[in-house]
Amino acid sequence: MYSSETTKYLIHLTLQIEGVVDKPDVVGAIFGQTEGLLGEDLDLRDLQRTGRVGRIDVQITTRRGETKGEILISSSLDRAETALLAASLEMIDRVGPCTAHVKVDRIEDIRVTKRRKIVERAKELLLEDFDEGTINSDDLLDEVREVIRIEKLEYLGEERVHAGPNVMESDAIILVEGRADVINLLRYGIKNAVAVEGTNIPRIIIDLCSQKTATALLDGDRGGELILRELLQVAEIDFVAYCPRGKSVEEMSRKEIVKALRNKVPVEVIAEHTLSEGAAERLPAPVSELMEDEISAEQQKDTGEGGRKPPSTLGEHMVDVRDKKIARFLSPDYTILQESKAADLEGALQTINGDVEGLIVDRIVDQKLLDQIGGKNLEFVAARDFKGIIKRPLSIRLIKIG
């Protein structure tokens, strides 16, 4: 009986047959047309019987009246005997009633293949799995700081929700999803974050929101949207802010956190039913004066040394446009790129150029107009209302101006 442990070589042969045949026909042709060809010592049946040649593996496919495939034969013979056996298989010229062409593609030395795999794996182990024992001061400091941050975490209420150390003393709180989000905000000096720990909002969160200015800063995914919808139903939320699309709060950099909190939207700006349907997402707008000192310092830096006022927020633009029958295209920093009459929006879409972040328009947007807007790769569209929307572009946030 043949043992795969003794395999030295693997013969690869290609097969082409001018007709339709099955695997047993191919195997029968191999035995029948090589019988007695190389003498008794190299008879294929005897070689299989004595375990010097393995089973014949035939893989074929049939298409348009032709059969093509591959034959694999494992061998524990020496190199010369294996080469001789492989050459004899090329003598097969018929399979059943059909003309056949068999050619040796290659003879694989299994030991060489194994040796190559061993060397490659050894390289991986050498580069990846050895502990070099080198000391990185930054890594050590980060590890120590992380312990301090974790020690600063507090547990509030009977549910023992994770929170920063300043939540109870602060006039404003930031609602995030979980413990890792609270720790990430602590990393950047924001100590008034509290975790809602999923969609089953704890009682302590509801109580805190009734007493303090509450901002929801949630992940930019479906889970964040569902948590926001429940928060809006059970708690008094004042502002909504989101991290960049597809990111979680625990992955955000300091700059991204500051920008998200500075550009949050008052809940009143967004239509209630729009949020309940999950259509209003990740909307930046005004900043609260009640955030941590870190945020205030960042705002002051943004005004520049001369005290220049930063661009208007999205919420301010929405208030400006409402009931004015105008359309306003905004850049990523919410400066006005172009303004036109709302009735002329279709024409303005044809001429708008530059890096356009979004559109605010005091008119109803239907499916035809939304399709035209979708071709401009905008991040958001804020409109008086949306009617007859059947196919909503996933890449555009739809905001109903309240």
From 14, 11, 12, select the one nearest 67 (Cα to Cα). 14
Output 267 or 304, whichever has higher pLDDT.
267
From 337, 338, 333, 283, select the one nearest 308 (Cα to Cα). 333
**If pLDDT is split at 50, 70 and 90, which confidence band does 2 have?**
low
**If pLDDT is split at 50, 70 and 90, which confidence band does 293 have?**
very low
State pLDDT tens for residues 306-316: 443 447 777 78
Does residue 376 have a pLDDT over 60? yes
Quick one: average pLDDT of 206-225? 88
Between the CA of residue 114 and those of 12, 55, 79, 119, 125, what are the distances in Å? 17, 21, 17, 9, 16
pLDDT at 282: 36
Quick one: average pLDDT of 166-175? 92
What is this structure's pTM? 0.46
Q: Residue 5 burial (CB < 10 Å; 0-12/13-18/19+)?
A: exposed
Rounded CA gap, 369 and 163, in Å? 45
pLDDT at 130: 66
State pLDDT tens for residues 338-348: 999 999 999 99
Pair 216, 239: CB distance under 8 Å: yes
**CA 293-146-242 angle, 5° bins:** 50
Rounded CA gap, 244 and 281, in Å? 11
Domains along the sequence of the chain with CATH: 9-109 (3.30.70.2690), 156-277 (3.40.1360.10), 314-400 (3.40.140.20)
Pair 319, 290: CB distance under 8 Å: no
**If pLDDT is split at 50, 70 and 90, which confidence band does 187 have?**
confident
Backbone phi, psi, residue 57, to 5°: -100, 115
Q: What percent of the chain has pLDDT over 70?
A: 81
Rounded CA gap, 274 and 316, in Å? 19
Average the pLDDT over each of 56-60, 260-264, 329-333 and give the range with the smallest value.
Answer: 260-264
Quick one: average pLDDT of 276-284? 39
Average pLDDT, the chain: 81
Quick one: average pLDDT of 55-72? 91
From 65, 129, 64, 52, select the one nearest 97 (Cα to Cα). 65
